[in-house]
């Protein structure tokens, strides 16, 4: 399998970036739900630090993915004759990318304006850019929570669209993203 995308296929780099991003989003969402139900304490603080580290990893990864996509462009649609649906698909992908950027950014701002640092797996701590601001912390914590709810139906529709492509349209869209021809 080639590393780079071609006009007709996704390369290993795009496939790995896609699936690692997907796994991080799922893991971060589940972790966030667990954190909401936990009482304050050491265990919650440790899990929150891991959540923040993974969230920042997601942000870094999505910027790499975005740069890769801008350099690579997009492979042709599996069904180029479906012009309107291809436009909708492209807009949908950009909306997902923007949300995948906005969610960790709002999480970072919420943490940065709160009482706790934003660590990166114990290796270093991201600089405190905004300082403590309780009101801003609360606003961005709320925005972060809302965006995590907004992404759920978008991801669900994304998954259903891939299944539709595979079983209904019988095109190569899903196969291309799992590395099959």
Q: Exposed/middle/buried for 40, CB within 10 Å: 0-12, 13-18, 19+? A: exposed
Residue % of the chain over a pLDDT of 70 = 99
Question: 45: domain range?
Answer: 12-177
**Which tokens go with 88?**
């909708």
Least confident piece of the model among 6-10, 40-44, 112-116: 6-10
Q: pLDDT tens digits for 109-147?
A: 999 999 888 999 999 999 999 999 999 999 999 999 999
Least confident piece of the model among 42-46, 71-75, 153-157: 71-75
At 181 the pLDDT is 65
Q: Does residue 84 form part of some domain?
A: yes
Q: Does residue 39 form part of some domain?
A: yes
Helix (H), strand (E) at residue 47: helix 42-72
* Mean pLDDT on 153-173: 88
* Mean pLDDT on 12-19: 91
Q: Does residue 5 form part of some domain?
A: no
At 81 the pLDDT is 72
> What number of residues does the chain have?
181
| pLDDT > 80? residue 102 | yes
Q: Does residue 153 form part of some domain?
A: yes
d(CA 14, CA 47): 29
Find the CATH number of the domain harbouring 48.
1.20.950.20
At 138 the pLDDT is 96
Q: Does residue 44 form part of some domain?
A: yes
Question: For residue 141, what are the CA distances in angstroms to 38, 78, 108, 155?
Answer: 16, 39, 9, 21
Spatial CA neighbour of 137 closest among 165, 109, 164, 118: 109
Q: Does residue 3 form part of some domain?
A: no
* Mean pLDDT on 161-174: 85
Q: 126 forms bridges with which residues in the sheet?
A: 118
Structural domains of the chain, count? 1
pLDDT confidence tier of residue 150, bands split at 50, 70 and 90: very high
| pLDDT > 80? residue 151 | yes
């Amino acid at each position: 399998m080639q590393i780079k995308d071609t006009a007709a296929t996704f390369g290993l780099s795009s496939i790995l970036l896609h699936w690692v991003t997907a796994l991080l989003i799922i893991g971060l969402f589940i972790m966030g739900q667990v954190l909401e139900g936990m009482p304050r304490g050491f265990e919650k603080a440790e899990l929150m630090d891991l959540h923040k580290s993974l969230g920042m990893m997601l942000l870094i990864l999505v910027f790499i993915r975005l740069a890769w996509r801008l350099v690579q462009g997009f492979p042709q649609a599996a069904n180029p004759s479906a012009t309107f649906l291809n436009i909708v698909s492209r807009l949908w992908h950009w909306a997902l990318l923007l949300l995948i950027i906005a969610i960790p950014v709002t999480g970072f701002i919420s943490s940065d304006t709160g009482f706790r640092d934003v660590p990166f797996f114990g290796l270093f701590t991201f600089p405190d850019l905004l300082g403590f601001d309780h009101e801003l912390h609360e606003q961005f914590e709320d925005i972060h929570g809302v965006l995590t709810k907004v992404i759920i139906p978008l991801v669900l529709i994304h998954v259903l669209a891939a299944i539709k492509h595979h079983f209904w349209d019988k095109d190569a869209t899903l196969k291309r993203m799992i590395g099959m021809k």
